[in-house]
Homo-oligomer: A and B are copies of this chain.
Amino acid sequence: MADVARHAGVSIATVSRALRDAAVAPATRERVLRSARELEYVTSPAGSGLSSGRTKTVALVVPFAARWFFSEVIVGAETALREAGLDMLLYNIGRTDRERFFATLPLRRRVDAAIVVASSLTPDQQHQLRSLGIPLSLLGSRIEGFPSVRIDDEHAAATAGRHLVGLGHRRVAMICGDPSNPVGTATTARRRAGFTTAIEAAGICGPEVVEEEWGITGGGRAMGRILGQADLPTAIFAESDEMAFGAMHTLRRAGIGVPDRISVVGVDDHELAMALELTTVAQPVKEQGAAAARALLHQLTDSIPPSNYDRVLPTRLVVRRSSAPPPP
C-alpha cells in the first residue's frame, strides 16, 4: 500500500480511501486505482481486518456436506456471498464433532456473520451461537431470536399426504430418519406431524411410521421392515427423496411393482427423482442458501438485526409415475 501511495504521489490514507468508496477527488481516485493496478496491489485481509474489525468472511455450518440438500445449500450460499465480495468458510460439522465445535466455536473473531444449517439446536448451542455477537441466519428451521430461511415442512408433508389420500389410498406408511440422531430431528418431527394430520383429516387412521438411519440404505431397510409385516400399505411417504430411493430399491428387489402395488412419494426433488420417476414435494434448496446469505448481507450493511426475519419458501408437488391409485 505504501508502494501504491508513493507511485500515485498521495498518502496511504488516501490510497485506503480510494480503494474503497470513501470520499476522494475523482482525479485522485483515478490515479490511485491506476497505480494499484500497475503494481498489482491486493489489499491484505489481515491488515484490513485488524484495523477495521471486519473480516469480509462468512461461515457456513452444515451437518452433512455431501448430502444432496446441503450440497445445494452450499452452492446457493457460496454464489450469493461471492457475488457480494465475501469469502465463505465451510464447516462440515456432523454428529461427531458437533459438541466440540459449539464449545470452542472456531468462528470467534474469524467471521463477520454465519449461516447455520440445522433443523434443531439445543438451548446451549443457541446460547453459544448468540454469544458470538455476529449476525446469524438459520436455515432449515425456525428458532426464536434467529432470522431464518426454510420451507414449511408440515405443509410439504401434508401435501404429500393429501395427494395419496386423493388417489384413494387408505393404508399408508411413512419412512423417517433415525430420531436418535439429534441432527435433523425437528425436520423429521414436523414432516411426520404434517403427514399424519393430513392422513387423519381424511378419516384414515394414522400412518405407521418406520424409523431407520437417514439415507438411501436406511430407506431400503425401513421398506424391508414394512414388507415383513402381514398387512402391507398401498403407499409410502418418505421423509426425503434419498430415503424414497432406498425404499424403491427394496421394492424392486422384492418384485413389488411401483406404483402398481405400492406408491412412493418423497420430499426434495433431488436431481435423480426425475430419472427414477419419483413423485415428490419439491423444495427450492439453492434458493434457501441464497436467501440465507442475503439475510446476512442485509444485517451486515443495514446493521439492523432482523431477529424476526422468517422467510418461508414455497414447495410444490411434482407428480411422476411412482404414485397412482391403489390396486383394487
Indicate if A255 sits at the interface (CB-CB under 8 A).
no
Integer count of this chain's copies in the complex: 2
Expressed in whole angstroms, the minimum distance between the Cβ of A29 and any Cβ of chain B is 19
Q: How far is the CA of A65 from the CA of B66 in the complex (A)?
A: 9
A327 within 8 A of B: no
Most interface-central of A66, A68, A79, A274 (chain B CB within 10 A)? A66
| Residue in B50, B78, B90, B220 whose CB lies within 8 Å of A46 | B50
Of residues 67 to 110 in A, which have CB atoms within 8 Å of B's CB atoms? 68, 71-72, 74-75, 78-79, 82, 87-92, 97, 106, 108-110
* Cβ contact within 8 Å between B87 and A75: no
User: With a CB–CB cut-off of 8 A, which chain B residues contact A90?
Assistant: 60, 74, 78, 88-90
* Residues on B with beta carbons closer than 8 Å to the beta carbon of A276: 249
Set of chain B residues within 8 Å of A74, measured between Cβ atoms: 65-66, 71, 74, 90, 92
CA distance A274 to B271 in the complex (A): 17
A276 to B217, CA, bound (A): 12
Is A220 a contact of B71 with CB atoms below 8 Å? no
Given contacts A87-B89, A89-B87, A90-B88, contact A110 B75 (CB under 8 A): no
Separation of A47 and B72 alpha carbons in the complex (Å)? 34
State the interface size on chain A (CB cutoff 8 A). 46
Interface residues of A in 40-72 (CB under 8 A from B): 42-47, 49-50, 55, 57, 60, 65-66, 68, 71-72
Whether B50 and A78, one on each chain, are in contact in the complex, defined by CB atoms closer than 8 angstroms, is no
B residues less than 8 Å from A82 (CB atoms):
91-92, 97
A245-B275, A246-B275, A271-B216 known; A65-B46 Cβ under 8 A: no
| In contact, B106 and A87 (Cβ under 8 angstroms) | yes
Instruction: Give the distance in Å from the alpha carbon of A97 to the alpha carbon of B110 in the complex.
Output: 26
12 A-B pairs, CB-CB below 8 angstroms? A43-B109, A44-B50, A45-B49, A46-B55, A66-B72, A66-B74, A82-B92, A82-B97, A87-B89, A87-B106, A245-B272, A272-B272
